[in-house]
A = this chain, B = another copy of it.
Amino acid sequence: MNTTTSIFESKKDIVRYFEQLRTQTLNILRPLEPEDYVVQTAFFMSPPRWHMGHVSWFYDQLLRRHDREYRQFSKDFDHYLNYYYYSFGRPFEKGSRGTVSRPTVAETREYFEHINRSVIRFLRQAQEQNKLNDELRRLFFLAFQHEFQHQELLVYDIQHLLQDKYRPPEMKQLPAGKPVGGMVKIPGGIFEMGYNPQLWGNNFCYDVEMPVHKVWLDDFFIDRVPVSNGDYLQFIEDDGYENFRHWLSDGWEWVQNEKIVAPLYWEQDGNGEWYRSDFRGRLAVKDTLNEPVVHVSFYEAWAYARWAGKRLPTEAEWEKAAAWDEDSGKRRLFPWGNDAPDARKTNLLESGYWAVCPIGAFSAGVSYYGCQQMVGDTWEWTSSEFMPYPKFKAGFVEYNEKWFGNQKVLRGGSFGTPMDGTRNTYRNFFRPPERWLLSGFRCAKDA
């Protein structure tokens, strides 16, 4: 039995699950120097120490409400660690997180450990006393998923800080696979989308993935694999960034104002050779032509698709291509079925770390329609705005619903996404110009 499966299974052992994810948070941070923990490189980025504290602060809030024995670590942490929850007091101004050096990393680590001990004690006790009811379980799983989200943000933020100097200790790269391409045709009709507890049990999902609801889709085509660096390079070389006709008006303004000429972390040397920085160092683009393009904004994805004579899929189209199984007449939780990701079907390694995954690197994880690498390689921009599903009911106070509007849905999950942090119904969302995340895309086309 491999690790990732066991972690998926471990939801039955909530304490072990918690321990594993907390260890994973520390693993991500392990290569950092104390100085790295406090620096904020841009307004959208948070210092790693802030993430470390903030994920702990979330449990802190739970314990304060549900654990009579809970002893608060220090009131000093509260203001700095509250990001955007007005319900819990005035949040600390996001753009100024890099202007304070205290609490120190060591103190924040102490706080982290204090939370570990307190949560474990509380969960054990609740289990023993049969008090770990559904509502409590749901709240703790929300906290776990919240930490997954911040694990991924940590990966983005550390890369933004250290660029090619960050070396996660156990990172790997999958061997190149058989190159594939082309589009598959998906038949239209009524499609039901959203997370379905009847099918997949009460494993945690976010409220915004529900309820299951009908959508009408016309026939359409969708790319078998994500757009690669090689594909994208052609767009650049065809002056894609200089021709306003490919771009949305807001995108064109962004390109002009920010002087955008390539994906983030790409740069051209004096001879016109392109390079990219990632966790493996500084690489020639020509040596990674066969990897999915990442660090592109929605605007760039849109412009590429127009240039290619295609378009971006809606999130419903993406979900159908990933989840629908015509034979069974049922939907799958993952492209390959309902089993948790494992090393045979995706690029999640047994260590729980991610792998960089060239196009076609494994074909065991294809969807019913033959789409590859839909989960775990790169988040894929869709054309859909992040808005509530019909008959949406908020499941948590002030968690997701306040972020509706002005953001685009991404689907799939990247090689920075933690184990158990994604599925076919997962809705990620970012603003159209954002691209410090691991964001790529695949195209669709009217049939």
Interface residues of A (CB under 8 A from B): 33-42, 49, 84, 86, 98-102, 104-105, 161-162, 165, 190, 213-216, 218, 244-245, 247-250, 252, 298, 302, 311, 383, 385, 387-388, 390-391, 398, 402-406, 408, 432, 446
Contacts and interface: CB of A to CB of B under 8 A. Distances in A.
A125 B213 CA distance: 57
Given A99-B39, A405-B250, A104 B33 contact: yes
Nearest to A407: B250
B216 A216 contact: yes
B432 A405 contact: yes
Contact of A104 (B35, B218, B403, B406): B35
B402 A35 contact: no
Contacts of A405: 248, 250, 298, 302, 408, 432
B35 A37 contact: yes
Given A38-B101, A86-B252, 19 more contacts: A33-B104, A34-B34, A34-B35, A35-B35, A35-B37, A35-B101, A39-B99, A84-B249, A86-B244, A214-B216, A214-B218, A216-B216, A218-B390, A248-B405, A250-B405, A252-B402, A311-B388, A385-B387, A405-B408
Which of A244, A390, A432: most chain B CB closer than 10 A?
A: A390
B101 A33 contact: yes
Contacts of A38: 35, 38-39, 101
A75 to B, nearest CB: 16
Which of A102, A249, A432: most chain B CB closer than 10 A?
A: A249
Contacts of A311: 388
A377 B250 CA distance: 30
Contacts of A408: 405
B162 A102 contact: yes
Give the top 10 A-B pairs by smallest Cβ distance, nearest first: A385-B385, A34-B34, A249-B402, A35-B101, A36-B101, A216-B216, A39-B101, A35-B38, A86-B244, A214-B216
Nearest to A393: B446
A35 B218 contact: no
Contact of A250 (B40, B391, B406): B406
Contacts of A403: 248-249
Given A218-B213, A249-B402, A98 B101 contact: no
A431 B181 CA distance: 38
Contacts of A37: 35
A405 B104 CA distance: 41
Contacts of A161: 101
B39 A402 contact: no
A311 B388 CA distance: 10
Contacts of A391: 218, 446
A97 to B, nearest CB: 10
Contacts of A104: 33, 35
20 contacts: A33-B102, A33-B104, A34-B35, A34-B105, A35-B38, A35-B101, A38-B38, A39-B98, A42-B99, A86-B244, A98-B98, A101-B161, A190-B216, A213-B218, A216-B216, A245-B398, A247-B402, A311-B388, A383-B387, A405-B432
A101 B432 CA distance: 28
A35 B248 contact: no
B102 A165 contact: yes
Nearest to A302: B405
Contacts of A33: 34, 101-102, 104
A406 B387 contact: no
A40 B408 CA distance: 33
Contacts of A165: 102
A184 to B, nearest CB: 18
A177 to B, nearest CB: 33
A99 B190 contact: no
Contacts of A215: 215-216
Given A405-B432, A406-B432, A100 B214 contact: no
Contacts of A42: 99
Contacts of A390: 218, 446
Nearest to A247: B402
A213 to B, nearest CB: 7
A254 to B, nearest CB: 11
